[in-house]
Every structure is written in C-alpha cells, then in structure tokens.
C-alpha cells in the first residue's frame, strides 16, 4: 500500500509539472482544458461534490442563523476551515470499496448535520454553542427548557439538505445507470491523495489568515461564538471534544501550563483580607437567608402595565435594601447551577461542561464551608429532584450540611416545572422555624422554581393584564372611550410578566411570614436573580417600541429619541438581574442603590467583608472597596465596566458614559478578562486549590520536622 501511494504521489507531481509547462506555452488552451477536465471530474464524482458543497453550505447557514449578520455569509476564514475538514472527510471515501462510498458519505453527512442542528437549537436557548461534555446534562435542558417543538425553528430544518440531497442524487444516478457498481472492490488512491492535497492547501490558506489572538482563543475555547465565527463549526466541535476529555486526561493535557497560570494569578494574594471599609463586619454573626430567584430580571423592577406594578413586593423591598441595580449574572451552559457555583465560590463556569456535573469532585473554597468554620449551620432548599444538575453531590461539595429537596416536600400544587413557589415558601417556613429555634447561626439557600421558562402556565399565575389601555376620543359619540391594545399579550415576554407577578406575590407573602415569625430579627436576607429569562429580542423591541395604532413594532433608527434600538450589545445589557441585601439595619439606615457595575463573582467578597470571612481564590471584588473601577467578565470573554460594554466576538463596544475610550483601555480590560478566565478554568479543571493546599501542608510538615530535629 505504501509503495502504491508513493507511486501515485510521483505521478501527481509529474502531472502538476506538465500542467505548469502547458500553461506557460498556451494559457488559454490549458485553462479551457482544465475547465473541461473539472466538469468531467464533477460529473464522475457527483456524490462527493454534493457532500462537499452541502456540508460547507450548512456551516455557513449555522453562522448566519445564530449570529444573524450578513458578514458571516462572506467571511472566508470559517469557510476555508470547514472546507478543509469536509474535503479530508470526503477524501477518505475514495479509500473504500465503491459500494461502501455512499453509505460512508451519508453517515458522515448525517453526523455533520446533527452537529449543526444541535448547535442551532442550543444557541436558541443558551445563546452559545453546544459542548460535547454537556451531552450528559442534555436531560436537564429538556426538563427545564421549552419543549423541543418550541425550541426548533423552521430554519433548523434547512440543515438536513445535505443528507436529503445526497440520498436523492444517489438514487437518481443509480436509476440513470450512472452508477453501475461493476467493480465492487475498486478503490481510488489517486483521488484520495488528490483530495487530501486539496484539503492541505485549503488548510494552509486558512492558517495564513489566523492571528495570534485567534490561535490563543481556539486553544482556550472560552469564547465559543468567536471560535465558530473564525474557525467554523466543525473545527470548533473537534477542539471541544479534546477539551471535554481533558478532565479525564489532566496528566496528559497542560497540567504544567495550568499550574503556572494559577500560580502567577494568585501569587500576590494574601492569606488574610487586607482591606477595610464602612461595611466591614457590620453583619458578623447574623443568620443569612439567600433566595435564588429563578429568571428574575432587573428590568421587571418598577415596570407597570396600566398602572399595575409587575413586582410590587420587590419594588417595596428595594427601597429598604442595599440594592445593586447594575448587577450581572455570569452563567454559561449550566445556567442556574453556574450561578449557584459562582455565587458561593467567586469562580467562573468552565469552558467545557458544567462544574456541577463535570467537576463536582473538586475542592473549593466556598461561602458555606467558610461559614461552617465560624460555627454556622448550612443548608439548602429546593422543590425539585435532588439529582437535578447533580445538586445532591455538588451541594455537599460546596459545604451544605443538609439539602432539602423534592422528597422533603409535599407536591401539593404544581406550576410549570414542579412545586409552586407559594407552596415551597410555605413548607420551607416550617423547616426554617425549626432551624431558627436551635439558636445556632445559619446560612440557608432557597432555590425557587415557578418563574422558569417556558412560562406557559398562565391560567395558574393569577390575573395580570399585559395589554395597553388608553382613553381615546370618539368623534361620533363625543366621549372618551377605553380602547384595549394587545401590546405584550400572547408574547413570551408577556407570559413571563404574568409569571413574574405571581412569583413576586409569593415572595411578598413569604417575607411577611418571616417577619411575623421573628425570623428576620437577626437575619440578613439576600435576594438575587440567577439569570435572565432568555427572552427574544423581538419581544424587547415590542416592549419599548410598540405602535398601538398598527399593533406592531415601530421602525426604529438610532437618531429617533423616542426609539430604543435593540441590537446584540444593548440586548446583553438588558439581561442584568437584581441583587438585594435586606435586614433591619438596611431598613432603618443603610438602604441605598448601588449603581456601580457588579457581577455574580463579586458577591462572595462583598458578603465576606460584611460577615467576616475571606476567600484567597476569589475572582471578584468587594464592590464597596473597588467601586467605580470594577469589571465584570462573562464566560464568553465579553466584559462590562461603568464605561463600556465590550463584545469580544465582533470586537464592538457600546459606550455607557460620555468619556473617551482608548485602544489601550480596551486591550487592558480584554487581557484582564482572558487571564481571569484562564486562571478560573485551570483552578477548577486541574483541582489546583486542593493541590496547592497539599503542597502547603507538605511544606509545613517538612518545616515542623526540621524544627523538631533541631530541638532534639
């Protein structure tokens, strides 16, 4: 076989040399010959070329349908990358017996189609591309997300063009006797070599277009959108497979580099807190109740329909709390579980898999563990299955001594995914009363459930009208009449507001009951939205730019002062969530609105300063210590400060203040984001906190032995 390939390669070189010589002698004739030869090659290899063209085409479609920019149709880099991979995969078919080529091409085509469909559907729900490591958590997405029929769009059926066209062409050619299959054993090594050479040339052309930044981002894979837009979906998925098996092969993949990243990032960290401010220790020793508020967005606060508030109880609470109105969740594919993790550890989600499922057996410095060291009893409560997002295991890792899950509740009222918030709060209150009576300080987290997509249990949410009512003068009667316009009625966002109104009412009742039982006398209540509700941009455009006369969205331009333009950047800013710290102290004198930008990873250091605990490995900052200089980094590499929001996928930004933004400022913040994400990922994947502690303990034991030897 080797000699045959060498012979074919030499013959190929001779043909290339002859072609070059002919072209120099007679360019026109040689060009026509090449065109005719090319057409003949296509005619004799129809299935191969259909395989190549259609699978490159669906890669282009995916980029356009997900990111929605025409530039993605014209970007040459991902097309070259996809073409190189598809050519290589297609070339393998020529090494097979002729009867096996079509089945091979069809199977590979189906696999590539599935990759595109899965990524398209996943992007619809999570605004990111799927990771192979998330397949084990696919059941969670199905259980907590919209039904598959709601997630699938018409565009998702375009991807099946490849296997359909391939199959149809096969049977057409067979019927026309264009495929006789006379020689069932025939292989074509020369065609395989030629195709591989074409794939190699295409790959070289692609590599020439890459920058050092492109290569760095591909290696790190924390910005999936950027990788797909630069490297194509197939190269992204190949790299993702490597990243997904990395946790099982840490000894083979980059441990030394990860340790270096970890050591450099934390080298100047003190083992003790080094700062103080006016909030240092103000709540030390008090109980802590955390409400993980499902899909609660900050935009709900203060919003009204026909004079009726969407969140009257939160609105009331905001006035008596330390309210962080410029607060962002930092979730990736793990959604709610990512928030729980970042809230409790001040680390970021990983660039592959989810921490709760893929890295639950690592060692972390967490709020529950640090509070246990201070004598706190720690627990969590949730009305769903304990196995959901692997919480049974991960809550123990985080340091919760008791996890009250579905088996600890009577499922007497179901709304949406499970136990209603009203019933959950009511039953949790009884458990809290028992815990409170033990007179031991405690840290508890209550994870709500009702206000979760798809928001379709509208008959159970209670009455809340999301229409628009206006008094309009009737010229015929000479009187004003109330006219009702549909506005948000029937939209996903409209249903979401109904769900939010129900969740807010349930929260209000719960807080009133906590007050009546005296539980809040020595307790600090912390409420945060875990992530946004994944609402479509069109619904935001309708919310802000509704034209009641036509029952449609106004045609908006940035020059129109009454128009809110919702592009990809403004959309991201609308996804912020609320954070409130409420207690007797905040109600009496400490209440305020904090407008400095803040992320979920800033909660732990901010609370740590207030309650007297400290985490050396926290990524965030005490917001009252850093204030205006804070930066919130998102898992995809985007970031936001008080000055700008920066989108690393397309390198665009949205100014948030009237101030000059320099290229150096953007580079500095982008470099900071990259280092932070790499440090966090290295810490988690390679279990470096545990290894660092083991090293420190070893060194401590060694010093102790030397001291003892010296004394003896």
pLDDT tens sequence across 274-303: 999 999 999 999 999 999 999 999 999 999
The 3-state DSSP class for residue 682 equals: helix
Q: Is the pLDDT of residue 144 over 60?
A: no
Lowest mean pLDDT among 85-94, 469-478, 601-610: 469-478
Q: How confident is the model at residue 201 (pLDDT cuts 50, 70, 90)?
A: confident
Domains in the chain, start-ordered, CATH in brackets? 45-245 (no CATH), 259-698 (3.40.720.10)
pLDDT: which is higher, 170 or 127: 170
C-alpha to C-alpha distance for 341 and 350, rounded to whole angstroms: 11
Q: Is the pLDDT of residue 620 over 50?
A: yes
Q: Is the pLDDT of residue 147 over 50?
A: no
Average pLDDT over all residues of the chain: 87
Determine the pLDDT at residue 38: 46
Look at residues 663, 676, 636, 711 and name the one whose alpha carbon lies nearest to residue 225: 636
Which range has highest mean pLDDT (8-22, 54-68, 423-437)? Answer: 423-437
CA distances from 316 to 201, 311, 461, 512, 525 (A): 65, 9, 21, 12, 14
What angle, rounded to 10 degrees, do the helices at 663-685 and 688-711 form? Answer: 70
Look at residues 368, 290, 319 and name the one whose alpha carbon lies nearest to residue 524: 290
Determine the pLDDT at residue 359: 92
Q: What is the DSSP string of 603-620?
A: HHHHHHHHHT---TT--S
Q: What is the DSSP string of 115-154?
A: HHHHHHHHHHHHSS---GGGGGGHHHHHHHS--HHHH--G
pLDDT tens sequence across 260-274: 999 999 999 999 999
C-alpha to C-alpha distance for 617 and 367, rounded to whole angstroms: 12
Q: How confident is the model at residue 655 (pLDDT cuts 50, 70, 90)?
A: very high
Q: What is the DSSP string of 493-520?
A: HHHHHHHHHHHHHHHHHHHHHHHHTTGG
With pLDDT > 90 as the criterion, what percentage of the chain qualifies? 60
Contact 601, 618 (CB under 8 A): yes
C-alpha to C-alpha distance for 84 and 52, rounded to whole angstroms: 10
Q: How confident is the model at residue 36 (pLDDT cuts 50, 70, 90)?
A: very low
Determine the pLDDT at residue 337: 94
C-alpha to C-alpha distance for 231 and 82, rounded to whole angstroms: 8
Q: Is the pLDDT of residue 184 over 60?
A: no
Contact 328, 299 (CB under 8 A): no
Give the mean pLDDT of 467-489.
88
The 3-state DSSP class for residue 331 equals: coil
C-alpha to C-alpha distance for 94 and 187, rounded to whole angstroms: 6
The 3-state DSSP class for residue 535 equals: coil
CA distances from 337 to 256, 455, 515 (A): 29, 20, 29
Residue 74 region by backbone torsions, left for phi larger than 0, else alpha for psi between -120 and 50, else beta: alpha
Q: How is the chain split among helix, strand and coil, in percent rounded to 5?
A: 55, 10, 30
Q: How confident is the model at residue 104 (pLDDT cuts 50, 70, 90)?
A: very high
C-alpha to C-alpha distance for 73 and 57, rounded to whole angstroms: 10
C-alpha to C-alpha distance for 142 and 528, rounded to whole angstroms: 24
Question: What are the structure tokens assigned to 247, written together?
Answer: 């946790």
Across 85-103, b (16+ Cβ under 10 Å) vs e yields: bbbbbbbebbbbebeebbe
C-alpha to C-alpha distance for 341 and 346, rounded to whole angstroms: 8
Determine the pLDDT at residue 376: 98
Q: What is the DSSP string of 160-225?
A: GHHHHHHHHHHHHHHHTTS-----TT---HHHHHHHHHHHHHHHHHHHHH--HHHHHHHHH---HH
Lowest mean pLDDT among 15-19, 242-246, 472-476: 15-19
Look at residues 454, 382, 331, 389 and name the one whose alpha carbon lies nearest to residue 137: 389
Q: Is the pLDDT of residue 83 over 70?
A: yes
Q: Is the pLDDT of residue 34 over 50?
A: no
Give the mean pLDDT of 499-526.
97
Determine the pLDDT at residue 248: 64
The 3-state DSSP class for residue 655 equals: strand
């Amino acid at each position: 076989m080797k000699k045959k390939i060498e012979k074919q390669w030499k013959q190929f070189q001779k043909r290339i040399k002859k072609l070059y010589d002919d072209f120099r002698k007679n360019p026109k004739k040689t060009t026509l010959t090449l065109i005719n030869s090319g057409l003949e090659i296509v005619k004799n290899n129809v299935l191969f070329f259909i395989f190549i063209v259609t699978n490159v085409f669906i890669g282009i479609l995916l980029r356009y349908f997900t990111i929605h920019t025409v530039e993605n149709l014209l970007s040459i880099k991902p097309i070259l990358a996809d073409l190189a991979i598809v050519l290589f995969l297609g070339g393998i078919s020529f090494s097979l017996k002729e009867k096996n080529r079509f089945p091979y091409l069809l199977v590979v085509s189906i696999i590539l189609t599935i990759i595109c469909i899965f990524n398209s559907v996943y992007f619809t729900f999570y605004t990111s591309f799927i990771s192979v490591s998330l397949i084990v958590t696919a059941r969670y997405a199905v259980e907590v997300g919209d039904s598959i029929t709601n997630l699938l769009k018409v565009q998702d059926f375009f991807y099946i063009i490849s296997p359909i066209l391939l199959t149809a062409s096969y049977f057409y050619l067979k019927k026309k006797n264009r495929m006789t299959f006379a020689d069932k054993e025939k292989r074509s090594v020369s065609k395989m070599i030629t195709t591989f050479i074409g794939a190699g040339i295409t790959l070289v052309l692609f590599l020439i277009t890459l920058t050092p930044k492109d290569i760095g981002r591909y290696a790190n894979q924390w910005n999936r959108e950027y990788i797909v837009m630069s490297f194509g979906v197939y190269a992204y998925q190949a790299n993702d497979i490597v990243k997904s098996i990395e946790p099982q092969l840490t000894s083979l993949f980059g441990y030394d580099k990860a340790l270096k990243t970890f050591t450099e990032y934390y080298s100047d960290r003190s083992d003790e807190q080094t700062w103080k401010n006016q909030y240092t220790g103000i709540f030390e020793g008090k109980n802590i109740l955390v409400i993980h508020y499902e899909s609660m967005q900050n935009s709900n606060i203060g919003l009204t329909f026909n004079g009726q508030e969407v969140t009257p109880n939160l609105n009331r609470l905001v006035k008596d709390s330390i309210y962080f109105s410029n607060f962002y969740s930092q979730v990736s594919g793990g959604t709610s579980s990512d928030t729980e993790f970042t809230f409790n550890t001040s680390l970021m989600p990983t660039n592959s898999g989810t921490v709760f499922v893929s890295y639950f057996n690592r060692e972390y410095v967490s709020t529950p563990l640090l509070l246990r060291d201070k004598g706190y009893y720690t627990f969590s409560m949730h009305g769903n299955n304990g196995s959901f997002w692997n919480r049974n295991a991960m809550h123990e890792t985080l340091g919760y001594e008791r996890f009250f899950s579905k088996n600890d509740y009577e499922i007497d009222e179901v709304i949406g995914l499970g136990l209603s918030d009203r019933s959950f709060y009511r039953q949790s209150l009884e458990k809290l009363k028992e815990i409170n009576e033990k007179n031991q300080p405690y840290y508890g987290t209550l994870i709500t459930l009702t206000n979760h997509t798809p928001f379709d249990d509208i008959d159970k949410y209670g009455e809340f009208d999301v229409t628009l009512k206006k008094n309009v003068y009737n010229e015929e009667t000479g009187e004003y009449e109330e006219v009702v316009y549909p506005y948000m009625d029937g939209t996903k966002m409209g249903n979401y507001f109904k769900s939010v109104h129900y969740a807010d009412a349930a929260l209000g009742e719960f807080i009133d009951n906590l007050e009546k039982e005296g539980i809040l006398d020595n307790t600090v209540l912390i409420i945060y939205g875990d992530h946004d509700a994944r609402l479509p941009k069109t619904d935001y455009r309708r919310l802000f730019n509704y034209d009641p006369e036509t029952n449609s969205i106004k045609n908006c331009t940035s020059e129109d002062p009454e128009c809110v333009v919702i592009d990809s950047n403004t959309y991201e800013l609308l996804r912020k969530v609320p954070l409130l710290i409420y207690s007797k102290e905040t109600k009496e004198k400490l209440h305020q609105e904090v407008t400095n930008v803040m992320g979920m990873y800033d909660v732990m250091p901010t609370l740590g300063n207030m309650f007297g605990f400290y985490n050396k490995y926290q990524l965030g900052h005490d917001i009252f210590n850093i204030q205006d200089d804070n930066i919130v980094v998102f898992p995809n590499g985007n970031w936001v400060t008080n000055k700008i929001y920066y989108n690393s996928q397309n390198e665009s930004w949205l100014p948030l203040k009237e101030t000059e933004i320099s290229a150096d400022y953007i580079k500095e913040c982008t470099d900071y984001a990259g280092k932070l994400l790499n440090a966090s990922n290295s810490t988690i994947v390679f279990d470096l906190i545990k290894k660092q502690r083991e090293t420190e303990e070893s060194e401590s034991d060694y010093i102790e032995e030397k001291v003892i030897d010296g004394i003896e």
